[in-house]
């Protein structure tokens, strides 16, 4: 049933100074890769954005602590799938810390320079022995070409690995992520790692990341649910040197592009998805308003099932926007599907619906648009359709 | 596939002084009832709660206007199904007004004493001629025993009529509603009519209705979507007379009970539903907080599909509560399914999950509970599971 909406990487180029690798340590079945690591040759600058859920996985607490204690310097990130190490109490935090300590010893760096991320079902103790006993083999497998293995190891219900690279002059910005269900603006069950060897803006990784997150991963929603484990990490780069401001701007642009393309890959691989849906909101008072309305539309089960049914149902789009708490005038609004305006100035255009239907039926990437006629701001939000397969997957999967 | 979770009325007793009736005027297929009317022998007090959607059906604007001009006195309510008369511009309002005027002429009352409500697909012109030409036949069919026909006429994707009666001494409180999909705290595609001949509190219908709505219909969610046409009307009653304060309290209690039972019927008849889910939130700081957390849980596709899969997935419940924006401590929270506490004080109890699974598998009405350990307030929210049938229905139906 899987429909491939975005390209699957056949290789992942890592920026200079980074290695990656993965092994099977027994968390997933059938020998599938389930433990991955990113390693920098020297400690690099790091910044993070975490879930806003009140319930957080142990790794979130650990990462916050390690980043504070290391002054935001990181050597490695260890990632396991099939166990979220969440709702596991003090033991969970101890377990995560032990994994980091063991890896740090092997790398010869302080424990706080190692971060960890976990994804999978919650409430089960982390199989720490299993992880620790595979660290040597894991480090032996790291290489500059190990990005794709890493991308595979972190997947859960995803159907394929997600990675994007963009050149920045001689340098490179690379992103690797996992997503699928439970994806929402609040950084849902999503792990994303951005790496670069290019120069960063003067404010560094921490200055750059919040806005990047706001304009990429926070604009994805699969089912409106959010996970306790969402984590976005940015590693590497250096402060402006010879190239100066221009180079920093290019890096910021490249990283945003990587983030947005990964975000689209995540939406496209939403559980059961057959369409990648771009919700385009224009005419908002400001960008936050535009993205908020976009999220309400993108979260609406009625809008999403209309796409499933290839039904150019502008009424559901207008109605979803109507409950976003934004005081727009429906009589002045416009709604389009693909390039076809199906509602404008208070008037539906049923004669154009066959054309809009063809867009939904024939394209795997579809566009739903609304102009609120309030201002000049716009934003895009990415989601997917809601199918019976989504229900099946989540009625079966213990997450 | 329909699972009957709540009793279907075999008769609807109307309070003294009310008549109801319905005809087929050609909006639905196969001769099904699609035009209904409620008529009071004399004009009665009326109060209304409408959708908070920015997009509103023409009848919402019309009702607001008529209630203002009549001083909240009403003789009749005309209801049509299969056409929402929404996104129909000035013509839509003219059409609704014409229907009311025609009915008022036949009843010999001012136009503003007639209200109207429409439900169905949006964006299509109201077939006004068809409606008006059936008004005489409709009035001929009204009787004190016509409540069930009325309840049938207003249905759209509902599988059965919804009505509740509660005695108030010699008097009676009756509720008739339609719901199904697009049901949410913001009064989604829901029409509900409460009638009584008992005495009201001194503040009257308008004083009573907002709190009643807050504690009944605003605690139902099927898919989190909201409609432009939601309308709750309360008609009848009289100000305290001989019986005095005690009688008024009894009426308020009876009407709330009618509202809550109708709300549960609506949740139980959610599109594709196989389980009526009561989300019970305790230990909140106040009732609003409790109902807010309850709504977030009840709206979560992951919680709803877990019920579909009969999976006692406390992690999804805790995680949904965690994104409600309420600062509770997950380590002190408790989660139960049926009578079984599956998570308490930061510790999962997997050994109890088989019992919780049996509750979900064997009962058609299931309970998901969470104690936030913050305060003493509690609230219930009603919803249903999310099934492949829901997706099918909404991928097919143009609403």
Predicted confidence (pLDDT) per residue in B7-24, tens digit = 778 889 999 999 999 999
Identify the residue with better confidence: B5 or A349. Answer: A349
CA distances (Å), B337 to each of B278, B305, B349, B364, in order? 10, 15, 12, 13
Distance CA B246, CA B83 (A): 42
Identify the residue with better confidence: A133 or A185. Answer: A133
Name every chain A residue with its beta carbon within 8 A of the beta carbon of B324. Answer: 54
Strand partners, A36: A22, A79
**What is the residue-averaged pLDDT of chain B?**
90
- Predicted ipTM of the assembly: 0.79
Distance CA A232, CA A218 (A): 11
Q: Residue holding tokens 């424990």?
A: A111
Contact call for residues B85 and B57 (beta carbons, < 8 A) = yes
- A365 pLDDT exceeds 80? yes
Residue in B closest to A225 by C-alpha? B300
Contact call for residues A179 and A158 (beta carbons, < 8 A) = yes
Q: For residue B338, what pLDDT is reported?
A: 97
- Cβ–Cβ gap A319/B122 under 8 Å: yes
- B241 pLDDT exceeds 70? no
> Quick check: A18 contacting B, CB < 8 Å?
no
Tell me which of A265-274, B151-160, B220-229 is least confident.
Answer: B220-229
Contact call for residues A40 and A235 (beta carbons, < 8 A) = yes
Distance CA A146, CA A19 (A): 7
Helix axis angle, B301-308 to A388-396, nearest 10°: 70
> Quick check: A308 contacting B, CB < 8 Å?
yes
Q: For residue B51, what pLDDT is reported?
A: 87
Q: For residue A362, what pLDDT is reported?
A: 95
Q: For residue A131, what pLDDT is reported?
A: 98
- Cβ–Cβ gap A398/B53 under 8 Å: no
- Kindly indicate the confidence band of residue A185, based on its pLDDT and cuts at 50, 70 and 90: very low
Q: What are the residue ranges spanned by the domains of chain A?
A: 18-268, 276-396
Residue in A closest to B229 by C-alpha? A319
CA distances (Å), B224 to each of A47, A324, B391, in order? 35, 12, 14
> Quick check: A125 contacting B, CB < 8 Å?
no
- A1 pLDDT exceeds 50? no
Closest among B350, B320, B313, B367 to A397, alpha carbons compared: B313
Name every chain A residue with its beta carbon within 8 A of the beta carbon of B319. Answer: 53, 55, 122, 225-228
> Quick check: B319 contacting A, CB < 8 Å?
yes
SS3 B343: strand
Residue in A closest to B121 by C-alpha? A315
Name every chain A residue with its beta carbon within 8 A of the beta carbon of B301. Answer: 223-225, 301, 386, 390, 394
Q: What is the pLDDT of residues A123-146, one digit of tens each?
A: 889 999 999 999 999 999 999 999
Closest among B191, B180, B232 to B397, alpha carbons compared: B180
- Kindly indicate the confidence band of residue A162, based on its pLDDT and cuts at 50, 70 and 90: very high
Across B85-94, B129-138, B192-201, B302-311, the highest mean pLDDT is recorded for B129-138
For chain A, give the percent of residues with pLDDT over 70.
93
CA distances (Å), A71 to each of A94, A132, A209, A214, in order? 21, 26, 16, 24
Q: Which fold has domain B276-396?
A: Ubiquitin-like (UB roll) (3.10.20)
Q: For residue A399, what pLDDT is reported?
A: 44
Name every chain A residue with its beta carbon within 8 A of the beta carbon of B121. Answer: 315
- Cβ–Cβ gap B315/A86 under 8 Å: yes
Rg (CA), chain A: 21
> Quick check: B367 contacting A, CB < 8 Å?
no
Rg (CA), chain B: 21
Q: Residue holding tokens 């003294």?
A: B16
- B245 pLDDT exceeds 80? no
Q: Annotate B228-286 with DSSP letters as a single string.
A: TT-EEEEEEEE---SS-HHHHHHHHHHHHHHHHHHHHHHHHT-TT-S-EEEEEEEEESS
Closest among B172, B141, B124 to B35, alpha carbons compared: B141
Mean pLDDT across B258-268? 92
Q: Annotate B72-127 with DSSP letters as a single string.
A: SEEEEEEEESS---BS-HHHHHHHHHHHHHHHHHHHTS-GGGEEEEE-S-SSS---
- Cβ–Cβ gap B308/A53 under 8 Å: no
> Quick check: A157 contacting B, CB < 8 Å?
no
Q: For residue B398, what pLDDT is reported?
A: 57
> Quick check: A326 contacting B, CB < 8 Å?
yes
> Quick check: A180 contacting B, CB < 8 Å?
no
For residue A189, give both structure tokens: 């069950």
Q: How far is C-alpha A13 from the chain's CA centre?
A: 19
pTM of this structure = 0.85
Chain B contact probe: residue of A85, A187, A297, A323 with most B CBs at under 10 A: A323
Residue B104, phi then psi, degrees to nearest 5: -60, -40
Residue in A closest to B389 by C-alpha? A388
- B205 pLDDT exceeds 50? yes
Mean pLDDT across B237-250? 74
- What is the assigned CATH class of domain B18-268? alpha beta
Chain A contact probe: residue of B119, B270, B308, B315 with most A CBs at under 10 A: B315
Q: What is the pLDDT of residues B22-66, one digit of tens each?
A: 999 999 998 999 999 999 999 999 999 998 888 899 999 999 999
Kindly name the residue from B189, B196, B231, B387 that is annotated as catalytic: B189
- Cβ–Cβ gap B225/A346 under 8 Å: no
- B2 pLDDT exceeds 60? no
Q: For residue B183, what pLDDT is reported?
A: 46
CB neighbours of residue A291 within 10 Å:
24
For chain B, give the percent of residues with pLDDT over 70.
93
B189 is catalytic: yes
Q: What is the pLDDT of residues B362-388, one digit of tens each?
A: 999 999 999 999 999 999 999 999 888
Q: For residue B223, what pLDDT is reported?
A: 62
Q: Annotate A347-388 with DSSP letters as a single string.
A: EE-GGGHHHHHHHHHH-SEEEEEEE-SS-SEEEEEEEE---H
Q: For residue A260, what pLDDT is reported?
A: 95
Number of CB pairs, chain A paired with chain B, less than 8 A apart = 177
> Quick check: A118 contacting B, CB < 8 Å?
no
**What is the residue-averaged pLDDT of chain A?**
90
B-facing residues of A in 75-114 (CB < 8 A) are: 86-87, 89
């Amino acid at each position: 049933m899987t429909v491939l909406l975005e390209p699957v990487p056949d290789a992942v180029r890592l920026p200079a100074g980074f290695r990656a690798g993965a092994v099977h340590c027994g968390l997933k079945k059938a020998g599938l890769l389930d433990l991955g690591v990113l390693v920098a040759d020297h400690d690099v600058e790091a910044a993070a954005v975490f879930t806003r859920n009140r319930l957080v996985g142990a790794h979130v607490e650990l990462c916050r602590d390690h980043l504070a204690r290391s002054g935001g310097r990181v050597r490695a990130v260890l990632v396991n799938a099939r166990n979220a190490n969440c709702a596991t109490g003090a033991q969970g935090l101890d377990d995560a810390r032990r994994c980091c300590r063991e890896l740090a010893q092997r790398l010869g760096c302080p424990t706080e320079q190692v971060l960890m991320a976990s994804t999978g079902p919650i409430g089960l103790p982390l199989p720490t022995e299993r992880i620790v006993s595979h660290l040597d083999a894991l480090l032996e497998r790291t290489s500059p070409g190990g990005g794709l293995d890493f991308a595979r190891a972190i997947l859960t219900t995803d159907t394929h690995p997600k990675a994007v690279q963009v050149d920045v002059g001689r340098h490179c910005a690379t992103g690797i992520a996992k997503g699928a269900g439970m994806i929402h603006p609040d950084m849902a069950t999503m792990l994303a790692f951005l790496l670069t060897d290019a120069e960063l803006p003067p404010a560094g990784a921490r200055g750059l990341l919040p806005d990047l997150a706001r304009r990429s991963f926070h604009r994805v929603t699969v089912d409106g649910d959010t996970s306790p484990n969402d984590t976005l990490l940015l590693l590497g780069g250096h402060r402006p040197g010879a190239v100066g401001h221009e180079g920093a701007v290019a890096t910021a642009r490249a990283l945003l592009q990587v983030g947005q393309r990964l975000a689209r890959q995540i939406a496209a691989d939403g559980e059961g998805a057959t369409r990648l849906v771009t919700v385009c909101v224009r005419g908002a008072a400001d960008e936050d308003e535009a993205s908020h309305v976009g999220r309400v539309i993108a979260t609406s089960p009625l809008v999403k099932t209309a796409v499933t049914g290839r039904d150019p149902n502008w009424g559901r789009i207008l109605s979803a926007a109507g409950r976003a708490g934004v005081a727009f005038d429906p009589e002045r609004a416009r709604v389009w599907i693909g390039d076809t305006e199906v509602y404008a100035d208070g008037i539906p255009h049923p004669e154009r619906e066959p054309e809009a239907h063809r867009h939904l039926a024939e394209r795997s990437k579809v566009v739903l648009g609304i102009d609120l006629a309030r201002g000049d701001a716009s934003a895009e939000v990415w989601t997917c359709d809601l199918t019976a397969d989504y229900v099946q997957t989540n009625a079966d999967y213990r997450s």
